[in-house]
C-alpha cells in the first residue's frame, strides 16, 4: 500500500519531495481518475503520496503592486468567485467551464498545469497572461515563465524534488480585456476539442497596443500565435477578427482523436480566434 504524507509546512514537504519518489496531490481531481484508469485494466499500483493540502502558506489569492499571486492550493472556484480585473476574465471564464462545480470546488489551477494535459483549460490563459510559475525545492526557489513550464505532452519543468508554490500573473493596464472560448461536444464535464484565450490592451481609439492569443488542444502543448499578435499591433480591435488567416495557425499540430479530426481542430481554432477577437472588440465597444 502506498505511504501517505501530509505535512503542514512547505519545508517538511520539500524534504519529503527530495528524499522520496512521491506524487504530490492537491485537489486530487487528476490523481484519482488516473489511478482508477490504471486499475481499470489491472494496474493496481500507486506511488507514495505527498498531500500538500495542509500547507497553509500555499493557500490564497493575493496581489502585490506588480503581480497577482495564486497560491498552489487556489481552486477554480476561488478564481471564479474572486473579484478580479478584466484582464483575468478569461481565466475566470475557464474556471467556470472546468468540469462541473464539484471539480471546480476541488481542482487547483496549479494542479491543472502540472498535469499538463494538452486539453487543460488553465494553460492557454496563463500563457496569454505571460504568467510565471514559482517552484520551490530544498535548494531554493525559482521562477519559470509559463511558456517554458509545459515542456511537452504531460511534461513540465517541475523537477522531481520541486513543488509548484504559486502562479504569478503580471498586472496589466486597466483597460486590458480578456476572453476564453472553449469548444466541446456537450455542455458540462467536457474536455475541450479546442480552446482559445485572448487578451488585448487598446488605446482610447480602439487601436491594439498589446495583444496575446493562445490556442489549446491543438498541439502537444498550448501555443501562442506570435505572428498574428505582431500583425495586429496598431490595428483597430474592431474588425481584427477578419484579419486572422490560416497562416497564423500554421505552427499548430493538432491530432486526430475521438473528439475531433486534426483538420477540424485547426479550422475550429481559426474560428475561435476570430470569435475571441470579435468578443474583445465587443467588450471594447461596450467600455467606450
Ligand X SMILES: Cc1cc2nc3c(=O)[nH]c(=O)nc-3n(C[C@@H](O)[C@@H](O)[C@H](O)COP(=O)(O)OP(=O)(O)OC[C@H]3O[C@@H](n4cnc5c(N)ncnc54)[C@H](O)[C@@H]3O)c2cc1C
CB of 174 to ligand X, least distance (A): 28
Among 10, 13, 14, 24, binds ligand X (CB under 6 A): 24
What's the number of CA atoms in the CB half-sphere (13 Å) around residue 184? 16
Give Dmax over CA atoms of the chain in angstroms: 63
Contacting positions for another protein (CB under 8 A): 1-7, 12, 15-16, 25, 27-29, 32-33, 36-37, 39-46, 49, 51, 53, 77, 96, 99-103, 105-106, 183, 185-191, 193, 258-261, 263-265, 267-268, 271-272
In angstroms, the CA 288 to CA 206 distance is 9
**Contact pick of 55, 90, 92, 107 for ligand X (by CB under 6 A):** 107
DSSP string computed for 200-244: EEE-TTSBEEEEEEEEESSSSS-EE-HHHHHHHTTSBSTTGGGG-
Judge whether 99 and 189 are in contact, CB under 8 Å: yes
- The reply on whether position 132 binds ligand X by CB under 6 A is no
| Only segment of 8-16, 104-112, 257-265, 269-277 that touches ligand X (CB under 6 A) | 104-112
Site string for ligand X, 56-95 (x = CB under 6 A): ----------------x-----------------------
**Do 61 and 78 form a contact (C-beta atoms < 8 A)?**
yes
Task: Name the residue among 88, 90, 93, 94 with its Cα closest to residue 69.
Answer: 88
Locate cell 486590458: which residue? 176
* Nearer to another protein (CB atom), residue 2 or residue 145: 2
163: left (phi over 0), alpha (psi -120 to 50) or beta: beta
**Which of another protein, ligand X, none does residue 90 bind (CB under 5 to 8 Å by kind)?**
none
Closest CB to another protein among 29 and 223?
A: 29
Residue 272: CB minimum distance to another protein, A:
8
Among candidate residues 153, 183, 189, the one with its CA nearest the CA of residue 260: 183
Q: How far is the CB of 102 from another protein (least distance, A)?
A: 4
Report the partner that residue 205 touches, choosing among ligand X, another protein, none (CB closer than 5 to 8 A by kind): none
If binding is defined by CB under 6 A, does position 164 make contact with ligand X? Answer: yes
The residues, ordered by sequence, that sit 6+ positions from 230 with a Cβ below 8 Å of its Cβ are none
**Residue 276 to residue 288: CA distance in whole angstroms:** 18
Nearest position to ligand X, beta carbon: 111
The footprint of ligand X (CB under 6 A) covers: 23-31, 33, 52, 72, 98-99, 103, 106-108, 110-112, 114-115, 120-122, 158, 163-164, 189, 191
Amino acid at each position: 500500500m502506498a505511504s501517505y504524507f501530509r505535512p503542514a509546512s512547505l519545508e517538511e514537504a520539500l524534504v519529503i519531495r527530495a528524499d522520496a519518489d512521491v506524487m504530490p496531490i492537491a485537489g486530487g481531481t487528476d490523481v484519482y481518475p488516473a489511478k482508477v484508469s490504471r486499475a481499470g485494466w489491472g494496474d493496481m499500483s500507486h506511488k507514495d503520496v505527498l498531500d500538500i493540502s495542509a500547507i497553509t502558506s500555499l493557500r490564497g489569492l493575493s496581489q502585490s503592486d506588480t503581480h497577482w499571486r495564486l497560491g498552489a492550493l487556489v481552486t477554480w472556484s476561488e478564481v471564479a468567485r474572486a473579484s478580479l480585473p478584466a484582464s483575468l476574465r478569461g481565466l475566470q471564464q475557464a474556471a467556470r467551464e472546468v468540469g462541473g462545480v464539484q471539480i471546480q470546488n476541488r481542482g487547483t489551477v496549479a494542479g491543472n498545469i502540472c498535469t499538463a494535459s494538452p486539453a487543460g483549460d488553465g494553460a492557454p490563459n496563463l500563457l496569454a497572461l505571460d504568467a510565471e510559475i514559482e517552484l520551490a525545492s530544498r535548494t531554493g526557489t525559482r521562477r519559470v515563465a509559463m511558456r517554458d513550464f509545459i515542456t511537452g505532452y504531460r511534461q513540465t519543468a517541475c523537477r522531481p524534488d520541486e513543488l509548484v508554490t504559486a502562479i504569478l500573473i503580471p498586472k496589466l493596464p486597466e483597460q486590458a480585456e480578456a476572453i476564453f472560448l472553449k469548444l466541446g461536444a456537450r455542455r458540462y464535464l467536457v474536455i475541450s476539442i479546442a480552446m482559445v484565450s485572448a487578451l488585448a490592451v487598446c488605446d482610447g481609439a480602439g487601436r491594439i497596443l498589446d495583444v496575446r492569443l493562445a490556442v489549446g488542444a491543438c498541439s502537444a502543448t498550448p501555443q501562442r500565435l506570435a505572428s498574428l499578435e505582431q500583425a495586429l499591433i496598431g490595428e483597430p480591435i474592431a474588425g481584427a477578427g477578419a484579419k486572422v488567416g490560416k497562416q497564423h495557425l500554421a505552427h499548430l499540430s493538432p491530432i486526430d482523436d475521438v473528439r475531433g479530426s486534426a483538420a477540424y481542430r485547426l479550422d475550429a481554432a481559426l474560428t475561435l480566434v476570430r470569435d475571441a477577437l470579435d468578443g474583445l472588440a465587443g467588450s471594447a465597444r461596450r467600455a467606450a
